[in-house]
Amino acid sequence: MGRSTVAEHIREQGKEQSSEQSSPKSAVGVSSERLLEAYRLMYLSRRTDDREIILKHQQKIFFQISGAGHEALLVAAGLTLKSGYDWFFPYYRDRALTLALGVTPEALLLQAVGAATDPASGGRQMPSHWSSPEHHIVSPSSATSTQCLHAVGCAEAGRYFSRHPETASKHEGDYRQWRDVQFHGNEVVYVSLGEGSTSQGEFWESLNTASNEKLPVIFVIEDNGYAISVPVEVNTPGGSISRLVHNFPNFYFAEIDGTDIAGCFRAFEEAAAHCRAGNGPAFIHGHVIRPYSHSLSDDDKLYRPETERHADALRDPLSKTQMLLLREGILDADGITRLEKKVDEEVRLAAEHALHAPLPAHHRRDILRHVYSEHYDPTRPELQSAPAPSSSTQERAHERTMADLINACLKDEMRRDPRIVVFGEDVADCSREQYLDEGLVKGKGGVFKLTAGLQSEFGSDRAFNSPLAEANIVGRAVGMAVRGLKPVVEIQFFDYIWPAMHQLRNELPLMRWRSNGTWACPVVVRVPIGGYLTGGAIYHSQSGESIFTHTPGMRVVFPSNALDANGLLRTAIRCDDPVMFLEHKHLYRGFWGRALYPGPDYMVPFGKAATVRRGTDLTIVTYGAIVPRAVQAADKAHREHGIETEILDLRTLNPYDFEAIAESVRKTSKVIVAHEDMLSWGYGAEIAARISDELFHDLDAPVRRVASMDTFVAYQPILEDVILPQADTIYDAILTLKQF
Ligand SMILES: Cc1ncc(C[n+]2csc(CCOP(=O)(O)OP(=O)(O)O)c2C)c(N)n1
Ligand SMILES: [Mg+2]
Q: What is the pLDDT of residues 21-41, one digit of tens each?
A: 456 777 889 999 999 999 999
Provide φ and ψ at 583, rounded to 5°. Answer: -115, 120
Position in ligand 1 atom list of the atom nearest CA 144: 26
Which of the 8 DSSP states describes residue 595? B
pLDDT at 71 over 50: yes
Residue closest to 61 by CA, chosen among 71, 45, 50: 50
What's the gap in Å between 477 CA and the centre of ligand 2?
Answer: 27
pLDDT of residue 249: 98
pTM: 0.96
Q: Are 561 and 625 in contact (CB under 8 A)?
A: no
Task: Kindly report, residue by residue over 432-471, the tens digit of the pLDDT.
Answer: 999 999 999 999 999 999 999 999 999 999 999 999 999 9
Query: Measured from the CB, is residue 194 less than 6 Å from ligand 1?
Result: yes
- pLDDT digit string (tens) for 537-593? 999 999 999 999 999 999 999 999 999 999 999 999 999 999 999 999 999 999 999
- 3-class SS of residue 189: strand
Ligand nearest to the CA of 69: 1
Stretch among 290-299, 384-393, 655-664 having the lowest mean pLDDT? 384-393
Is the CB of 197 within 6 Å of ligand 1? yes
Question: Which of 97, 141, 197, 226 to probe ligand 1 with, by most ligand atoms within 8 A of CB?
Answer: 197
Contact call for residues 626 and 683 (beta carbons, < 8 A): no
pLDDT-based confidence at 8, cuts 50/70/90?
very low
CA of 138 to the centre of ligand 1 (A): 19
CA 438 to chain centre: 38
Instruction: Give the number of the atom of ligand 1 that is nearest the alpha carbon of residue 193.
Output: 15
* 612 touches 564 (CB < 8 A): no
Q: H/E element holding 620?
A: strand 618-622
C-alpha 315 – ligand 2 centre gap (Å): 16
Looking at the DSSP assignment, which residues form a beta bridge with residue 223? Answer: 287
Handedness of CA 21, 25, 29, 31 (dihedral sign): negative
- 5 CB-near residues (< 8 Å, 6+ apart): none
Centroid of ligand 1 to alpha carbon of 251 (angstroms): 25
Give DSSP secondary structure letters for 126-188.
-TT---BGGGTBPPP-SSTTHHHHHHHHHHHHHHHHHH-GGGGS--TTSGGGG------TT--
Question: Helix or strand or coil: residue 191?
Answer: strand
pLDDT digits (tens, 9 = 90+) for 676-687: 999 999 999 999
User: Ligand 1 centroid vs 222 CA: distance in angstroms?
Assistant: 12
On whether the CB atoms of residues 73 and 258 are closer than 8 A, the answer is: yes
Predicted pLDDT of residue 17: 41
Mean pLDDT of the chain: 95
Closest atom of ligand 1 to 91 CA is 21
Closest CA relative to residue 528, chosen from 577, 474, 578, 586: 586
Ligand nearest to the CA of residue 223, numbered in listed order: 2
pLDDT of residue 728: 98
Distance CA 471, CA 94 (A): 24
| Residue 85 reports pLDDT greater than 70 | yes
Buried b (16+ CB within 10 A) or exposed e, 543-576: bbbbbbbebebbbbbbbbbbbbbbbbbbbbbbbb
Question: Would the CB of 226 count as within 6 Å of ligand 1?
Answer: yes
Angstrom distance (rounded) from CA 288 to CA 166: 44
For ligand 1, whether the C-beta of 142 sits within 6 Å is yes
Phi–psi pair at 542, nearest 5 degrees: -70, 155
Span 373-423, pLDDT tens digits: 999 999 999 999 999 988 887 777 789 999 999 999 999 999 999 999 999
Q: What is the pLDDT of residue 23?
A: 66
585 touches ligand 1 (CB under 6 Å): no
Long-range contact pairs involving 685-694 (C-beta distance under 8 Å, separation at least 24): 685/546, 686/546, 686/549, 687/621, 687/656, 687/661, 690/658, 691/661, 691/662, 691/665, 694/658, 694/662
Closest CA to 376 of 177, 608, 570: 177
Question: What's the CA gap between 85 and 494, in Å, rounded?
Answer: 38
**Main-chain phi, psi angles of 20, to 5 degrees:** -65, -35
pLDDT at 4 over 80: no
In this prediction, residue 670 has a pLDDT band, given cuts at 50, 70 and 90, of very high
Given this model, what pLDDT does residue 149 score? 98
69 CB less than 6 Å from ligand 1?
no
Q: What string of DSSP letters covers 481-524?
A: HHTT-EEEEE-S-GGG-GGGHHIIIIITTTHHHHTTTS-----E
Which ligand 1 atom is the nearest neighbour of the CA of 200? 1
Residue 529's DSSP bridge partners are 584
Report the separation in Å between the CA atom of 144 and the middle of ligand 1, taken as the mean of its atom positions: 6
Active site residue 136: no
Report how far residue 563's alpha carbon sits from residue 569's, in angstroms, rounded to the nearest whole number.
10
Q: Is the CB of 60 under 6 A from ligand 1?
A: no
Q: Nearest C-alpha to atom 13 of ligand 1 is from which residue?
A: 227
φ/ψ (deg, to 5) at 694: -95, -20
At a CB cut-off of 8 Å and minimum separation 6, what does 259 contact? 69, 72, 73, 287, 288, 289, 315, 316, 317, 320
Work out the angle between the directed axes of helices 105-113 and 32-57 (0-180°, nearest 10).
Answer: 20
Question: Residue 301, class by beta-carbon neighbours within 10 Å (0-12 exposed, 13-18 middle, 19+ buried)?
Answer: exposed
- Ligand 1 atom 24 nearest Cα: 143
> Would you state the pLDDT for residue 22?
52
Q: Rounded CA gap, 96 and 38, in Å? A: 10
Q: Pick the catalytic residue: 135, 370, 540, 586? A: 540
- 227 C-alpha to center of ligand 1: Å? 6
* Residue 680, SS3 per DSSP: coil
User: Rounded to an integer, what is the distance from CA 658 to the centroid of its chain?
Assistant: 29
Q: How far apart are CA 227 and CA 621, in angstroms?
A: 49
Mean pLDDT of 278-283: 98
Query: Do the strands 486-490 and 524-529 form a parallel or antiparallel pair, or are they unpaired?
Result: parallel
Pocket mutation for ligand 1, best pick of 129, 220, 228 (most atoms within 8 Å of C-beta): 228
Find out whether the beta carbon of 31 lies less than 6 Å from any atom of ligand 1. Answer: no
Q: State yes or no: pLDDT of 193 exceeds 60.
A: yes
CB 219 within 8 A of CB 249: no
